[in-house]
Structure 1
Amino acid sequence: MTERLTLRGLNRATLARQMLLARENASVAETTARLCGSQAQEPKPPFVGLWTRITGFRAEDLHTALHERAVVRATMMRGTLHLMPAQDYLAFRAPIQPVLDAGLKMLGSRAKGLDIEKVLPVARGLLQESPRTFNEMRSLLQEEFPQVNERALGFAVRMCVPLVMVPTQDRWAFPRDSRFALAETWLGSAPSTDDPTAVEEFVLRYLAAFGPASAADAQTWSGLPALGEVLERLRPRLRAFSDERGRELFDLPDAPRPDEATPAPARFLPEFDSLVLAHSDRTRVISDEHRPGLTTKNLRVRATFLRDGFAAGTWETERKRKTATLRLRPFKPLPRSALKELATEAESLLAFIEPDATDFQVTTEPAA
C-alpha cells in the first residue's frame, strides 16, 4: 500500500532539502547544487537566499565563487536566470534547450524574417571576440540583419546560445547591463550534448532538491513537458507516495523526510525564491488562498517570510539615510511570539543587506 504523506510532512521534507530547517555549513557551490539551482532573475535576491540557508554566509563568498567560475549565473529552468555550479550548468543546459526553443514563440510577429541558422553563427563570432552586453549584441546584429526586429535578434541569442553572465565587483555582482560570455569560453568547455541520461539525472536532482513531487511539479519547475514518461522510466529507482489530495508523488529512497512535528524556524525568502515556484501544487509552502497575492501584476514574485515552515506574509526593505527598515506584511494576524522571532531574524537580515546602516527597524503592517 502506498504511504500517504500529510501536508506538514511534505512541508518538512521540502524544507529539509532546501536547507530551511537549519542553516548549514556549506559552500556556495555545494548549496546551489543541493538546491538544483538558485533563482537569480535579479542580482540581489540570490545573496539573500544564500544568507538564509548558509551558516555565516558573506556576500564575498558568492563573489568569490562567481569570479573563480565555480558558480555561474545563466539562463536555465523556465527560461529564467539561475545560479548553478558550473559543472551542473554544463551537464543540464542541453536538457533545458527545448524549453528555450519553445520560448521563441513569445516573439510572435516580431520574429518576422528571423533565420536562426544565420543569426546564431554571427552572434557566436561576435562573442568569441569578447564578452558583450545585450545592448551591444542587438546593435551589432542589426547591422548584419537590418530587416529583423532587434529585440528578436537579442532574444534568439539569449535562448539559443549557451551564455553565462560575467560578474563584476559591483555590490551584488551584476550591474543592470551586464556582459555575457560564451559558456565554452568562460568555462573552458561547452555544455554536454551527448549524454542520453541527462534528462533522467536532471529529474533525480529535482527530486533531491524539492521532493517528494509529482510529474506536474517537475514540469512546472523545469518548463519541460512529458516528464511523467521520465519518472515512469525511473520508477524502479524511486519510492512512490500519495498526498492528501490523492496525487502520486515520487522521491529518492534515502532522501530526508523529517517527522512533521520537526520545528521550523522563522526564515526570510527573497523575491523569486525557487521554494515558492518549484511545484504545481504549492500548498506545501503557501496556501491556495494566499498564492495569488505572491505575484504582482508585472510578474514580480514577492519576497516572503516563513512561520512554522509556511509562507505567512511578504516583506520588503527601505533605506533612509542611516536607517534600514524591514516591513512585514502578514497574511493573517500573528501571535506575539512569532513576531518576536521574526523581528530577531529580520534585524540580522537587515544587517546583512545594509551593512553600513546604524539603525535597524522592523515594522509590521496590519494583516491583509
Structure 2
Amino acid sequence: MAVLGTRALNRALLARQLLLAPADVMPVQLVEHLVGLQAQHPTAPYLGIWSRIPGVTTGAISALIADRSLVRIAAMRSTVHLFSTADARWIRPVVQAAVAKGLTPGSGYGRMLTGLDREEVAAVAASYLQEPRSTAALGEHLCAVFPERDRDALMILARCLLPLVQVPPKGLWGMSGGTVLTTLQAFVGPDPADDRGPGDLVRRYLAAFGPATVRDVQHWSGLTRLGPVVAGIRDELVAFTGEDGRELFDLPDAPRPDPAVPPPVRLLAEWDNILLGHADRSRILPPEYKDRVFSQNGIVRGAVLVDGMVAGAWKLRTGGPRATVELQPFTRFRKADLRAAEQLAADALRFGAPEAAHEISVLEP
C-alpha cells in the first residue's frame, strides 16, 4: 500500500479545497463541493467563498441567501453551516445523530428533559415555526405549552430534532439583528424523495477532504461508528497509508497533485473548512501553531497559508468609515510571501468594504 507523506496530503487537500488554483465555479457549486461552509459567524462563509472564487462579491453571495439557493442550518458537529438548499434537504437528516448529541441523557439539557415526550415538543415547535419566528417568541411559546420545563432546554430540543433554518436578513452581508427561525420544509418546500445516506456523505467528504481516515470523517461530521459505512463502499475506494501507519481512503479519480507543486499564499476565513475537516490537522496546521489558531472559547482564527501550511493569522474588520486588515505572521515571512499576503489583504478589503478607507497592518512575529 502506497505511503502518502504530509506534503502529499497537503497538496491533495489544497486541490480538493480549490486553494491550489483559482476555482472556475459558481458560489452554489463551490458550497456544494465543500459540503457546506461553517457559518455560525455570518461573515465566515463569505470569506471562505472569496478565498476560492476570484472576483466574487458580497452582494452576489447575499443574493443567493436571500433567494433561498443557500440556507443556514445546524448540521455537522451540531454547528450552523451554509448549504445549498439541495444539500440541506438530505445532509441534515443524515447527520441528525450528530446534531442531537446535546440531548443525551447524561448531558445537562438531557437531564432537564427527563420524562418529557420529546416528539411532542418537536411537533409543537414545528407547527409554530411554519411561519418565521424569533428565538424569543419560540421560547415563550414552548414555555406556555410546557410550563414546568426549562426554556433553554426546550429550545435546544427543538433545534436538535427539527431542521431549522435561520431566515434572512440573518446571514446577509452587513445586516444585523436577532435570529429568526422556520423549518426547512416551510422555507423551501416539501422534501423530494431522496434515499442518500451516510455512504454518500463519505463520498462527498472524500471529494473535498481526502485522502482521510475513518476517524477524520467522524471528526468532521460529528457522527460515530462510520467504520462499517466505509467498509460498505470500500470496493469503490482506493487505500493508502499515512506516515503514522493509519489507513487512508480516497476516491480513485480525485486529484492527488505532485507534492512538489508550489501553492500560492492564501488567506483562510475564520472557521474555514480546511482547518476543521480532520482529526489529525498536521497536513495543514503545524502542531506548534494550534493554540494560536484555535482559541479556548471556540474561536478559529482566520489563517495565512504559506507553502500550503498555516504560518500566520489575519483579521478583517469592517462596519465603519475605515476598514482594516491585521496580518500576524507566526514567523518571519519571506518578502515575496509577505507581499502576496498584503495583496490578498487589499483584495479582502475591496471585497468586504469597497466604499471604506482601507488600512493594512502587519504585526511582528
TM-score normalised by structure 2 residue count: 0.94
Residue 289 of structure 1: SS of its match in structure 2? helix
Counterparts of residues 22-61 of structure 1 (less than 5 Å): 22-61=21-60
| CA displacement 1:160-203 (0-9 Å, x = unmatched) | 111212122875276341211211111112386x72x5110011
Equivalence map 1:132-143=2 (5 Å)? 132-143=133-144
Q: Summarize the alignment of residues 85-124 of structure 1 with structure 2, pairs less than 5 Å apart.
A: 85-105=84-104, 106=107, 107-112=109-114, 114-124=116-126
* Structure 1 position 114, deviation (Å): 4.0
Q: Is the 8 A contact 1:114 1:152 kept in 2?
A: no
Deviates more, 1:107-116 or 1:92-101: 107-116
TM-score scaled by length of structure 1 = 0.93
Alpha-carbon distance in 2 for matches of 1:143, 1:276: 42
1:18 aligns with 2:17: yes
The gaps in structure 2 that reach 5 residues or longer are: none
CA distance in 2, matches of 1:187, 1:297: 37
Q: For the residues of structure 1 that align with 2:319 and 2:25, how far apart are their CA atoms?
A: 34
Specify every segment of 5 or more residues in structure 1 that has no aligned partner in the other structure, as ranges.
none
Letter in 1 for 2:205: Y
* SS of corresponding position for 2:13: helix
Q: Which residue does the alignment assign to 1:329?
A: 328
Could you tell me how far apart the structure 2 residues matched to 1:137 and 1:169 are?
17
State the alpha-carbon separation in 2 of the partners of residues 361 and 175 from structure 1: 24
Name the structure 2 match of 1:235.
234
Displacement after TM superposition at 1:17 (Å): 0.9
Mean CA deviation greater in 289-298 or 168-177? 168-177
CA contact (8 A) 1:89 1:191 kept: no
2:189 aligns to what?
Answer: 188
Letter in 1 for 2:30: T
- State whether residues 37 and 82 of structure 2, in contact with CA within 8 Å, keep that contact through their aligned partners in structure 1: yes
Contact 1:240 1:248 in 2 (8 A): yes
Letter of the aligned partner of 1:178 in structure 2? T
Percent sequence identity over aligned pairs: 38
SS in 1 for 2:211: coil
CA contact (8 A) 1:265 1:309 kept: yes
Superposed CA RMSD in Å reads: 1.8
Q: 1:191 to 1:299 in 2, by over 3 A?
A: farther
The alpha-carbon deviation at position 337 of structure 1 amounts to 1.7
Amino acid at match of 2:118: I
Deviation at 1:321, TM superposition (A): 5.7
Stretch moving more, 48-57 or 315-324: 315-324
Match of 1:349 in 2: 348
Count of residues in correspondence between the two structures: 362
1:281-320 CA-to-partner distances (Å, cap 9, x unmatched) read 1011101111122222211111111111111111123459
Give the match for residue 70 of structure 2: 71
